[in-house]
Structure 1
Amino acid sequence: MKVIEILGYKRANLGKAESKKLRTAAHVPGVLYGGTEQVHFHMPMVFLRDLVYTPYAHFVDLNMEGAIYRCILQEMQFHPVSEMMLHVDFLQIFDHKKIKMQIPTAFVGKAIGVTKGGVLSKKQRKLTIAAYPKDMPSMVHIDVSDLDLGQIVRVFQIPIENYIILASPNTPVASIEIPRALRSAASKEEKKGKQ
């Protein structure tokens, strides 16, 4: 799993007025949970860009005045109209504790159904994974090579290594959709065969 280092600054003053001042200065107030105590901090919004606006999952080394905390992004709040970042929560992680993360899916191989004119439909772009930090994958790779027209790959069919997928085993992850044109051509052939 790729690690991004982000600089944060501990907050001495808490409260709405102080948070508003920080946001005006293009900083995001935040809290680090999971350790022996909560740590209140702030950071420039620009530092979060590589973490938030990416399809990939990352660990974060949060560097606060020389103290480095290994953590994950837990939650982020945005303004409903302006989309400005309002608040960020990080969860400190430890080697001996399992964590849960949303991990992106990557579909590999060329499906048989696609070569016949079908369309690969990606039903789950991310899956929630539980694992120890050392076992957390950066991507869940799903082989779709054997999928034919109308077939579906489900969670229970994904080979896993040292982690658990927190979804119903029957949850569809990808399928090969049959386009309308292909379906109508098949029904015409079927009708011809019956005549």
Structure 2
Amino acid sequence: MKVVAFERNLQGTGASRRLRNSGKTPGIVYGADKDTQLVELDHNALWHALKKEVFHSSILDLEVGGKAQQVLLRDVQYHPFKQMVLHVDFQRVDSKKKLHTKVPLHFLNQETNPAVKLSGAVISHVINELEVECLPGDLPEFIEVDLANIEAGQTMHAKDITLPKGVELVAHLEAENPVLASATIPAAVVSDASAGGAAAGEGETPAA
């Protein structure tokens, strides 16, 4: 995904305020053993880009002054009540160095899961992204989580899914193995099933 930015020379609260008043958003680009670069971006274009999942989880081609560099979006500061982006941070990536970043999870086959269709189970998504490490060229836009076979009462953990080639969980998640999703039978469904069973029992004729 390509992003166009422009160099800015002025910094400070006053300069940033003037930028925002003119429809621009200040930002910085840092990392890869290079000097921090001050940039500005068109606010409306940035606002719409931030609504796309891919903008948050993919390597971006950031063009500044006609020169492109690969970056990750690292931080966004929003106005507390206005629809306004106050500041953005981009981190340069080195194609030869592993990076740590969060990747969104896409949950699949929940509607066709037998526990959902036949037993009234409800599948809850406990977390919606995973922090992974990989080389920039291996970074996936998202990670698929197949919920086709999770049964009622079961949970699915991070280590239960197959990660794309070259992608690993960061160390603390490897140790914690957090829950990604869980399948439960709602109390109302259990209660209805019990009541139905009791009613069926009452209708039976005692053996002579």
Identify whether the pair has TM-score above 0.5, normalized to the shorter chain: yes
1:144 and 1:47 map into 2 onto residues whose CA distance is 36
2:184 and 2:13 map into 1 onto residues whose CA distance is 50
1:153 aligns with one of 153, 156, 176: 156
State the match for 2:135 in structure 1: 132
> Which stretch shows the higher mean deviation, 16-25 or 175-184?
175-184
Aligned-pair CA distance for 1:47: 2.2
State the match for 1:28 in structure 2: 25
8 A contact 1:156–1:169 mirrored in 2: no
Mapping 1:1-195, distance limit 5 Å: 4-35=1-32, 36-56=34-54, 57-109=57-109, 110-116=112-118, 117-160=120-163, 161-166=165-170, 167=173, 168-188=175-195
1:131 and 1:194 map into 2 onto residues whose CA distance is 59
The one-letter amino acid of 1:103's match is V
> Which stretch shows the higher mean deviation, 68-77 or 150-159?
150-159
Listed as ranges, the gaps of 5+ residues in structure 1 are: none
1:130 and 1:51 map into 2 onto residues whose CA distance is 24
> Which stretch shows the higher mean deviation, 102-111 or 82-91?
102-111
Hey, which of these two has a bigger chunk of helix by percent? 2
> Which stretch shows the higher mean deviation, 21-30 or 123-132?
123-132
1:72 and 1:51 map into 2 onto residues whose CA distance is 13
The one-letter amino acid of 2:81's match is V
8 A contact 1:51–1:58 mirrored in 2: no
Aligned-pair CA distance for 1:179: 2.1
Aligned-pair CA distance for 1:94: 1.4
Deviations along 1:71-112, one digit per CA (max 9) or x if unpaired, are 010001111122411110000011111112221111123322
* 3-state secondary structure, aligned to 1:141: strand
Please tell me whether Structure 1 or Structure 2 has the larger radius of gyration of its CA atoms.
2
Deviations along 1:13-44, one digit per CA (max 9) or x if unpaired, are 22211111001111110000113111101011
Deviations along 1:110-169, one digit per CA (max 9) or x if unpaired, are 322112221221111111121111111111111111111121101111112321223254
Deviations along 1:153-194, one digit per CA (max 9) or x if unpaired, are 011111123212232543110111212332113333676799
Aligned length: 192
